[in-house]
Amino acid sequence: MRRSSYPEQEVNTINWQAFKLILPYLFEYKKRIALAMSCLVFTKIASVYLPFILKDIVDTLDSKQDNPLLIVPLGLVAAYGLVRLSIVIFAEVRDTLFGRVTERAIRRISLNVFKHLHQLDLDFHLNRQTGGLSRDIDRGTSGISFLMRFMVFNIIPTLLEIVMVVGILFVNYGIWFALITLASIASYIAYSVYATELRTRYVRAANQADSSSNTRAIDSLLNYETVKYFTNEQYEAEAYDKQLSVWEQAKIKNRLSLFALNGGQAFIIAAAMTAMLALAATEVAKGNMTLGDFVLINAFMMQLFMPLNFLGFVYREIKGSLANIENMFGLLDRKPKVEDIEQAGELKISAGEIALNKVCFSYQKERSILKNISFTVNSGQKVAVVGQSGSGKSTLVKLLFRFYDTVQGNITIDNQDIKQVSQKSLRKHIGIVPQDTVLFNDTLFANVQYGNPNASDAQVRKAIEMAHLTEFIASLPKGEQTMVGERGLKLSGGEKQRVAIARTILKDPAILIFDEATSSLDSQSEQAILKAINEVAKNRTSVVIAHRLSTIVDSDNIIVMNQGEIVEQGSHQELLALSGQYSKMWQLQQSNP
C-alpha cells in the first residue's frame, strides 16, 4: 500500500488541558460571557419554578371550591405560559450571546492554525498527508463548537438543575425523594460513562478509517492524470472501498454498542421514575401530599432525565472534542525547523551579490548532499549550475530560500548572512521560476497577479506580454479569465512555466532563480522565453539550474556539480577547453538534441 492513514490520537481519558488552550480566546469577551451565564441561571430558575405552577394549577382544579373563577385558574395558566416563554427567551439570548463568542474564538483559532501551517518548514509539508491534516483541523474547530455548546448549554445547566431539584425535594418532601433522585442520577451517569468507555474503540476505529479513506480519496484525485496513465481507476476504487469497508464495520459495531447504551439508560430512567411515582402515590394516598405534588415530582424527574438522556453521546463527544482540539493545538505547538532569530533584521539589497562559503548540507545524517560548496555570484551576473540528477543543484535553491538551513558554512547576500535576516524579507527579494509550476484553481490573470497581488491590471498584462503569453491567452474563449483547474491541470507544462515566468516578472525581485525554467518548452517557445528571461535578468543577479546546456552558454560562470561537490567551473568555452565532465555532457547533448 503506497499510502498510510493519518495518525489518529487515541482517546482514552479526558484531557482537560484542552480547556486551558481555548480559554484565552474566550475570555476576550468577559462581559458577553457574564451576560450569557446570567441568562443561563435565569433559564434554570424559571425551569425549576415551572413544576410549582403546574402543581398549583392541578391543586386548584382538584379543590372542591364552588367559585367558577377558581375552577379555571386563568391567572396560573397565564403565569405558566409566561414562564415557559421566559425560558425560551432567556435560552435564545444566552445562545446568541455565547454563540458569537464561540464563533469568534473558532475564527481566531482557525486563522492562527492556517498562519502557523504556512510558517512550518518544507520538511513538514513534504511529509504531511493533506486529507488527514484537513480532517484534524476540521475536527478541531468542530470540537471547540461542540464543547462550548454542550458544556455551557447542557452539562452546566443540568448540574445546576440537579442541585436545585435535589435540594427542593429534600426540603419539601423528605430525604427519600432526594436519595432516590441522587441514586438514579449517579447510576445513570456511572453506566453512561462505563458503556461509553467500552464503545470508544469503535468510534476511534471509525475516525481512523474516515481519515484514511479521505486521505486516499484526495491523494487519488490530486494524481488524477497518473491514475489515467496507468488505467488504475478500478485499483483506486477498490482501495478506497477497502477503507470504506473498515469504516462501515466500525460504524456497525458502534451502532450496536449505542443500542446497549441507550437500552441501559432507558432501564435506569424507567426504574427511577417508577420508584419516585410509587413513593409519591403512596404519600398522596396517605394524605401527606396533594395530587399537584405528584404532578410536580413527575415533572421534575422528566426535566432532569431529558438532558441526561444524551449524556453518553455528550460524554463521548466531549472526550473526542478535547482530543481533536488537542490535535489541532498540537499543530500550533509544532515548531518549524527553520526559524528567524530574535529581532531578525531586514535584508537590504545593494548589489545582489550571493556568496556560498563552505556550505555542507544533508537531509539525513547518514547521507551528505552538499560538501563544502563555495562560489560567488557577483552583482548582475548570470551563473548556471549543471550536473547529473541528484548532484545537489535543487538543494542549493532550497537553501538560498531558507527552506532548510545549512549544516555547516553560510550563505550571504550583499555580505548579510541569510540566517540573520527575516525569512520574509529574504524571499521578498528572490524570484523563482520552478521546474514544476503549481497553479491555484483560479483564472490565468489571477495566477499571474499572485506574483504581486497589489499590481495594477496594466502591470499584470505587461508581465503576461513579456512572458510571451499574450498570443496564447488571446486564443482562449474566455481569455485571461480562463480557469486553469486544480494545480493548473488544464494547462500544458510549457504554458504553466510561462505563467510562472510572468508571475516572477511581476514580482520584480533583485535576484532571479530559474530552476529548469525551459524544460517543458518546445524549441521555438524556448527561444522566445530565453529572450524574455535575458531581458528580465538584465542588470539582475540570476542563478540558473539547467539540464539543457544550450540554454546557459551565455552564462558568466557555469558551475558543474557531481555528487554534492563542485568539480568544474568557468565559462562555456573554458569548460569545453578542459575536456572534462561538462565537455562530455555537451557532446552527449549535441549528439542527441
What is the DSSP code string of 513-550? EEESTTTT--HHHHHHHHHHHHHHHTTSEEEEE-S-GG
**490 — phi, psi (to 5°)?**
-80, -10
Q: Which amino acid is residue 558, in one-letter code?
A: I
The answer to whether 429 and 510 have CB atoms below 8 angstroms apart is yes
Buried b (16+ CB within 10 A) or exposed e, 41-80: ebbbbbbbebbbbbbbbbbbeeeeeeeeeeeebeebeebb
Cell numbers given for 438: 503549481
| Cβ partners under 8 Å of residue 9, min gap 6 | 323, 324, 326, 327
Q: Which amino acid is residue 180, in one-letter code?
A: I
- Taking alpha carbons only, the member of 401, 376, 413, 411 closest to residue 557 is 376
pLDDT tens for the chain, 593 residues: list them.
444 333 344 444 555 666 677 777 777 777 888 888 888 888 888 888 888 888 877 877 776 555 555 555 677 788 888 888 888 888 888 888 887 788 888 888 888 888 888 888 777 776 666 666 777 777 778 778 777 777 766 677 778 878 888 888 888 888 998 898 899 888 988 888 888 777 777 777 777 778 788 888 888 888 888 888 888 889 889 888 988 888 888 888 878 887 888 888 888 888 988 898 898 898 888 888 888 888 888 888 888 887 777 666 677 677 777 777 777 777 777 888 888 888 888 999 988 899 999 999 998 877 888 999 999 999 988 999 998 877 888 889 999 999 889 999 999 999 999 999 999 899 899 988 887 777 888 898 998 998 889 989 999 998 888 887 888 888 888 888 988 877 677 787 778 888 888 888 888 888 999 887 666 566 666 676 677 777 777 788 999 998 888 888 889 999 999 888 999 999 999 999 998 899 998 988 887 65
C-alpha 348/C-alpha 413 separation (Å) is: 9
Phi-psi label, residue 20: left if phi above 0, alpha if psi -120 to 50, beta otherwise? alpha
C-alpha 480/C-alpha 443 separation (Å) is: 7
C-alpha 546/C-alpha 553 separation (Å) is: 11
In the block, cell 432525565 appears at 305
- The ranges assigned to domains in the chain are 18-333, 350-429+543-593
- Taking alpha carbons only, the member of 50, 40, 35 closest to residue 91 is 40
Buried b (16+ CB within 10 A) or exposed e, 384-421: bbbbeeebbbbbbbebbbbbbebeebebbbbebebbeb
- Second-level CATH architecture of 18-333: Up-down Bundle (1.20)
Instruction: Tell me which H or E stretch contains 512.
Output: strand 511-515
Provide the residue count of the chain: 593
In the block, cell 481519515 appears at 211
- Taking alpha carbons only, the member of 488, 519, 486, 522 closest to residue 503 is 488
| Residue 520, pLDDT score | 57
C-alpha 38/C-alpha 56 separation (Å) is: 27
Q: Integer distance in angstroms from the first to the last C-alpha of the chain?
A: 39
Q: Which amino acid is residue 330, in one-letter code?
A: G
CATH number given to 350-429+543-593 = 3.40.50.300
Cell numbers given for 392: 545537489
